[in-house]
Amino acid sequence: MAVTDLGALVRIPSVSWEGFDPDNVDRSASAVRDLFDGIGIFESVRVARSISGAGLPGQPAVLATRGARNGAPTVLLYAHHDVQPPGNYSEWQSPPYEPTVRGDRLYGRGAADDKAGVVSHLAALRAFTQVVGTGFDLGLVAFIEGEEEFGSPSFAGFLAEHREALAADVIIVADSDNWSTSVPSLTVSLRGNITFRLTVKTLLHASHSGMFGGAVPDAMLVMARLISSLYADDGSVAIERLTAREAPVPDLPLDRLREDTGLLPGVAAIGRGPLLSRMWNQPAITVTGIDAPTVQNASNALIPEVSVRISVRVAPGQHTDEAWSAIEAHLRSRVSFGAHVEISDLNKGEPFLVDAAGWAVTAVKDAMSEAWGTGALETGIGGTIPFLSHLAADFPDAQILITGVEDPDTRAHSPNESLHLGVFHRAILTEAILLANLNSRA
């Protein structure tokens, strides 16, 4: 039943980014609401949205609540139903919104990130109620966000409006990965993220490259030099005042990194220090998009304007305001030839560190050991979950558990995203066991 429910959600192209049909996110929210309402254990299930800091309406979230009884704790179950854009359709082996099983994996956009997280909560609740019945004491909140992939711009407003409904003793975030398909992980650190659009202008209009080239700078020249300045010779970040975190990490062989990422033969890894430290504890910069004439449409002309989108991962322990100050100062001080530079569409998501000393951490590790048949590793991830810092600030006494249904071959955000069905089963079982144990705790 869980796989069927997941397949139905994958068929809805719920991309929350600007430029995509928002009706699909509405359809997805309605479908998720109906699934949680259908369990029959929540006192209230509804679709809700708030206003972003820019004054725009946010994407729809699903909020379901049930009050605790007899001193039992309240557990908030978080996941998100929005997905990344599909990318290049030609790179998918099967259509991105047509769930397809090949071997032991289910393929499709959102099959893992994070509609599998949504359905893992749903299936765990079904299993939990089958064992304990519907008269249990545990308080429950299901919060299924609709704009996580777009940076959660309206989450602060949502939290302010629904703070009482979201209050919980334990928060389970099903939006991370596992060490492998046979070894579970509990995520204890996340990098932050700063994204922005960088535009360089040098000319009022395009000019003949043969007649004026060599004397007049084009925007691509300035942009190339500016991007190059962001990196040291070994590919590590060259921006002063971007900090790194010192923390031990497990060993990751280069061969596994090459296999997990599709790194081509002969292409070297970048950065310095242990591989996992580079991905978990150090800053990183990626140019994720570029607006310029395509190769097919290129003419022999000096390009007057070029824009890129840049993503900067911020190491745990550094606030994004401090990091952005360093990034902006670096860029503006390295503009060549007096070119005009504009920075827009700035978004920030804070890094996060989990307090791994709480009783709930012990409880989820015990549940993972029982469900997986092996102990869990405490790991970091290089990605960002923007709303966590808001939750931690508003609910400082809540214990946050970051779990997930992904594995190294999931390829979240990429073509051919997939879910390992064995991991999916064990993630559901883990959460069902954890809920049963928490229900018995006053």
- Residue 148 has what DSSP assignment? G
Is 417 in the active site? Answer: no
Question: DSSP letters along 305-358, please?
Answer: EEEEEEEEEE-TTS-HHHHHHHHHHHHHHT-GGG-EEEEEEEEEE--EE--TTS
Is 251 in the active site? Answer: no
Closest CA to 379 of 251, 261, 269: 251
Consecutive H or E run containing 284: strand 284-291
Consecutive H or E run containing 425: helix 421-439
Q: End-to-end alpha-carbon separation of the chain, Å?
A: 32
Distance of CA 312 to the CA centre of its chain: 14
For the chain, the farthest-separated pair of C-alpha atoms sits apart, in whole angstroms, at 82
Closest CA to 371 of 203, 123, 114: 123
Q: Which of 82, 147, 175, 417 is catalytic?
A: 82
Q: Which of 114, 145, 148, 431 is catalytic?
A: 148
Q: Which stretches of 103-237 are DSSP H helices? A: 115-132, 155-161, 163-166, 209-212, 219-228
Q: Before 114, cis peptide (omega within 30)?
A: yes
Q: Which residues are catalytic?
A: 82, 148
